[in-house]
Amino acid sequence: MDRDGTLIRDKRYLSSKDELEFLPRTISALRYLSKTDFRLIVVTNQSGIARGYFTEEALKCIHESMTKKLNENNVRIDAIYYCPHSPEDGCDCRKPEIGMIKQAKKDFDLNLKKCYFIGDKFEDIQTGINSECKSILVKTSYGRFDIRSNIKPDYIAGNLLDAAYWIIIKSELAQYDKV
């Protein structure tokens, strides 16, 4: 899942853990998903590093603070992957490219066709499509405004909790298809 605008309020180049603010219902959604066998993996573009707005050390502090707050609320995050490059760098890890997804697949032996990619921007949805994951657009930030008819998510959710419910229901129904 994406970070800014999906899990936390998008502060445009968040550079300090003191600015970290979870979106409404995020902790409840992640707590719910933490009780499942799904891997909870964050995949985030962080071009602020390449642009000199903050350092990788500052990003590490933000992610440690985020993970600590989530752990205190009985939420597990299995991994956080980030791309420190600018859009002009042409790297293969910056979303909608799938370098970070490939690394997560390798690290966790994931079957991407059984995975979900959740984000608030259509480049997140394109990342899901490019990696053959099911894609969910959450209307928590840019997703409220960024409507493109040529890119179709598998589901449009009001927020992360709505997305979590949809994932759980869909996976439970899939179990019945096997019986």
Looking at 2, 10, 120, 162, which residue is catalytic? Answer: 2
Q: What is the pLDDT of residues 12-70, one digit of tens each?
A: 899 999 999 999 999 999 999 999 999 999 999 999 999 999 999 999 999 999 999 99
Q: How far apart are CA 101 and CA 82, in angstroms?
A: 10
> What pLDDT is recorded for position 147?
61
Mean pLDDT of the chain: 92
Number of H helices, E strands in the chain: 5, 5
Chain-centroid distance of CA 154 in Å reads: 15
Q: How much of the chain exceeds pLDDT 70, in percent?
A: 91
Query: Which of 42, 100, 45 is CA-nearest to residue 75?
Result: 42
Please enumerate in sequence order all residues whose Cβ is within 8 A of that of 70, keeping only pairs 6 or more positions apart, or say none.
27, 30, 76, 77
- pLDDT confidence band for 171 (50 / 70 / 90): confident
- Which residues are registered as beta bridge partners of 136? 118, 155
Residue 62: CA count within 13 A, CB half-sphere = 25
- pLDDT confidence band for 146 (50 / 70 / 90): low
Active site residue 2: yes
Chain-centroid distance of CA 80 in Å reads: 9
Residue whose structure tokens are 């997140």: 124
Residue whose structure tokens are 């984000």: 119
Query: Which domains does the chain carry?
Result: 17-177 (3.40.50.1000)
Active site residue 4: yes
Q: How far apart are CA 139 and CA 60, in angstroms?
A: 27
The mean pLDDT value for 144-163 works out to 82
